Amino acid sequence: MNFISLRNLKLNSNIKRIDQNNRKMKNLKAVPGSLLIAILLFSLTSFQYVAKPHLIVGNWQILEKQKYELTFNDKSSYFDRIYFSSDEFTACFSLIDKNGDEEELSLAFRIYEADAEFETPMIVFKNTCDKSFLLVFSIENLSKEFLKIKFQKKYSSEGINVKNEILEFERTAGPPENMD
């Protein structure tokens, strides 16, 4: 026969009650934690700041009756259009060769603001597949309607030449902020 003392019985019932209270407290602690996480996620996803695209983003067409020749590795083409993507990293040149065939040239680009070294902002185009291709222009004028850039032979790769130093484009498409 097993005798359970009254003291052990009270101790066991106290332990059970403490375990039940601990389980309830864990459940109660989970509710504010879940609520806090929900509020945090809601605030992070609801109030995101959307950056305004750079003014250069969009499609640019050569002004009428202009021909700007680009020569690289003894291959000659004419600029037709430039597209600057909204990721502000990728640009695409549409070039037309002397036979009238169109060729796309995808490049990475970066804009450097004017500083002590450069009087005007500079735009640098780099071919990520061809390490020897670096094309640099200074931005002479940039507005919602027109883009005027000047070829910088000094900073561009050897073997690259643009016959006319100043190229003028007009915007044909772009984000609404840049079209108003």
Contact 78, 72 (CB under 8 A): no
Q: Give the CATH number, domain containing residue 107.
A: 2.40.128
| Terminal Cα-to-Cα distance of the chain (whole angstroms) | 95
In a domain, 65, yes or no: yes
User: Quick one: tokens of 54?
Assistant: 């750079």
d(CA 57, CA 136): 17
What does the pLDDT read at residue 54? 67
d(CA 152, CA 165): 8
Q: Are residues 107 and 127 in the same domain?
A: yes
In a domain, 143, yes or no: yes
Domain containing residue 143: 58-179
Q: Are residues 109 and 174 in the same domain?
A: yes
Q: Are residues 104 and 163 in the same domain?
A: yes
Q: Are residues 18 and 81 in the same domain?
A: no
At 118-176, the pLDDT tens digits run 788 888 888 888 777 888 888 898 888 888 988 888 888 888 878 767 888 888 887 77
Q: Are residues 113 and 150 in the same domain?
A: yes
Q: Are residues 75 and 6 in the same domain?
A: no
d(CA 125, CA 104): 14
What does the pLDDT read at residue 119? 81
Q: Are residues 79 and 160 in the same domain?
A: yes
d(CA 130, CA 134): 9
Domain count, the chain: 2
